[in-house]
């Protein structure tokens, strides 16, 4: 089950408050607010944007699971993005109590590498005043963090954010991913202390274009909306072009499974990651039915992948978490191994720094990822070099 979605949905359902940093005056509970003009989003499902007179409203939501296991949208968190040089917005109706963030933000804190990537694509990564830690793929961000020029609040997957750091640096906004419900009280305390928190849910989207479309929110937030629109339009266009290129090509059979120690393998079977194989004109030999309640990858045994030895034309056998299998004779039984059609997702890696761009820019630029998959499956169709994928020699997994 995708616990990240359920964690966030549970947090919102608990009434995780949004504390305004810039409040409007009292208003009756029955007040209504004129609906804004929707800003059309073509893919994102966890985000809705609407333009009002003088400000933009962002509605962020996660999914929750009911007692049957089916998912449904949870309550939305509402954030008002109002220009710094304009008047304070008068908030009525369901906008009362919303977090108000004055834009463009100049001082940004984040606890997730994907936020760094969004800001980097927009050319505003120099506005970061705090990041999760020292594992940024961006050399300059990593240098600044090491030198103490920007703060470290802790990565979302390790611990709740360090409130002392956030209070000391006083960011205009804290871009926050939440991976553990135990961190919720710390987030509520941050808001109570006047820190403007904006939940980021791009990584919880089930479609790779939906994830990338979140760049439009980052554009509004940073005053680079036009650039964000251009970038995402280019991403969409390139994805469409690549899918059209492979439409009439033969379909190579792909095994995406990396060794995880002993006789275990982690296989990509569904979700946004698996869709790269299909959209690159391939057949995922371990495809499973789509299910938003389940992870994109599953642990399988050696016995489960051995029957595919002669079927796999291409094998994605490498990963940053790969552990060489106990018996190397297993790989030699695969035709893709013998023919040297082996790949890993570690093309943009600084291993000595624990920095992997697969978890950062790959989320923002799925067109680059898809181009890699097309090149791996149909080498004659893509001239540009690999970025995130890389050919692996036999016996290498990273």
Residue 214 confidence (pLDDT) above 70: yes
pLDDT at 210 over 50: yes
C-alpha–C-alpha distance, residues 70 and 289, integer Å: 15
Q: What is the pLDDT of residue 280?
A: 98
Asked if residues 344 and 363 have their Cβ atoms less than 8 Å apart, the reply is: no
DSSP 295: -
Phi and psi (nearest 5°) for 294?
Answer: -125, 155
The lowest-confidence range among 50-64, 109-123, 192-206 is 50-64
Q: Spell out the domains of the chain, with CATH numbers in brackets.
A: 3-237 (3.40.50.1980), 249-391 (3.40.50.1980)
CA-based end-to-end distance of the chain: 27
Per this entry, what is the length of the chain? 398
Given pLDDT bands bounded at 50, 70 and 90, which one contains residue 327? Answer: confident
State residue 377's pLDDT score: 98
Chain mean pLDDT for the chain: 89
- Which pLDDT belongs to residue 34? 65
Q: What pLDDT is stored for residue 73 in this prediction?
A: 55
148-164 burial: b if 16+ Cβ within 10 Å, else e: eebbbbbbbeebbbbbe
Radius of gyration in angstroms for the set of CA atoms belonging to the chain, rounded to a whole number: 22
Tokens of 26: 């009292």
What confidence score (pLDDT) does residue 140 get? 98
Range with lowest mean pLDDT among 85-89, 218-222, 254-258, 312-316: 85-89
């Amino acid at each position: 089950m995708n616990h990240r979605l359920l964690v966030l949905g549970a947090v919102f359902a608990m009434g995780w408050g949004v504390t305004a940093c810039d409040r409007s005056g009292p208003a009756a509970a029955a007040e209504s607010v004129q609906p804004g003009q929707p800003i059309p989003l073509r893919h994102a499902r966890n985000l809705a944007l609407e333009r009002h007179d003088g400000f933009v409203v962002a509605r962020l939501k996660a999914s929750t699971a009911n007692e049957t296991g089916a998912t449904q949208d949870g309550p939305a968190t509402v954030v008002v993005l109002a220009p710094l040089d304009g008047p304070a917005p008068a908030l009525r109706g369901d906008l009362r109590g919303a977090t108000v963030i004055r834009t463009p933000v100049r001082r940004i804190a984040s606890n997730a590498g994907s936020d760094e990537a969004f800001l980097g694509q927009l050319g505003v990564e120099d506005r970061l005043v705090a990041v999760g830690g020292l594992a940024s793929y961006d050399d300059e961000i990593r240098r600044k963090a090491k030198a103490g020029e920007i703060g470290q609040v802790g990565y979302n997957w390790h611990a709740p954010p360090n409130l002392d750091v956030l209070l000391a640096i006083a960011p205009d906004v804290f871009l926050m991913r939440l991976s553990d419900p135990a961190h919720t009280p710390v987030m509520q305390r941050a808001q109570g202390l006047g820190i403007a928190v904006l939940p980021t849910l791009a990584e919880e989207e089930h479609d790779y274009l939906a994830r990338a479309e979140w760049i439009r929110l980052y554009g509004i937030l940073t005053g680079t909306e036009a650039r964000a629109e251009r970038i995402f339009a280019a991403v969409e266009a390139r994805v469409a072009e690549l899918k059209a290129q492979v439409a009439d090509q033969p379909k190579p059979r792909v095994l995406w499974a990396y060794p995880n120690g002993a006789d275990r393998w982690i296989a990509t079977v569904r979700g946004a990651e698996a869709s790269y194989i299909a959209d690159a004109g391939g057949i995922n030999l371990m495809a499973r039915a789509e299910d938003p309640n389940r992870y994109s990858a599953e642990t399988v045994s050696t016995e489960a992948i051995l029957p595919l030895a002669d079927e796999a034309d291409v094998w994605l056998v490498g990963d940053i978490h790969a552990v060489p299998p106990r018996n190397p004779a297993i790989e030699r039984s695969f035709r893709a191994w013998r023919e040297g059609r082996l790949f890993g997702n570690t093309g943009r890696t600084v291993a000595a720094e624990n920095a992997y761009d697969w978890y950062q820019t790959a989320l923002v630029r799925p067109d680059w990822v898809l181009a890699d998959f097309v090149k791996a499956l149909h080498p004659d169709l893509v001239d540009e070099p690999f970025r995130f994928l890389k050919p692996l020699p036999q016996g290498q997994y990273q």
